[in-house]
Structure 1
């Protein structure tokens, strides 16, 4: 899973492409991760969170279903 943080949010693509797959933006909170936003993939596997992020460490989690294991982006820092 690819995730790119921008000044206006986070965007990326999930592979394999599963349209409508749930995607979660998670923020690290001590040793755990808390979901702070959710969206779904479009027909090409693309997703976006159009919100500025407070300081912190984040990752994106995709749960494609259909017998596929959940995937995670590498963690990244908010501004």
Structure 2
């Protein structure tokens, strides 16, 4: 893997933008501070990505579920 510093920087910036998009669009995923820290520090590890996927699925399901009216 013989990447230039510029290529590495561009990839790093892409990863940061992807993370920031998730923080903006799904803040509820990161209510757990420990998970948020792990995601920022180790976001590309399989275990963290699997946990993120599960949280994202739950968040999307909650958003899609019709809200019940309380009387």
TM-score normalised to structure 2 length: 0.24
Q: Please state which structure has a larger fraction of its residues in helix.
A: 2
Q: Please state which structure has a larger fraction of its residues in strand.
A: 1
TM-score normalised to structure 1 length: 0.22
- In our comparison, the structure showing a higher alpha carbon Rg is 2
Answer 1 or 2: higher relative contact order, Cα 8 Å, separation at least 6. Answer: 1
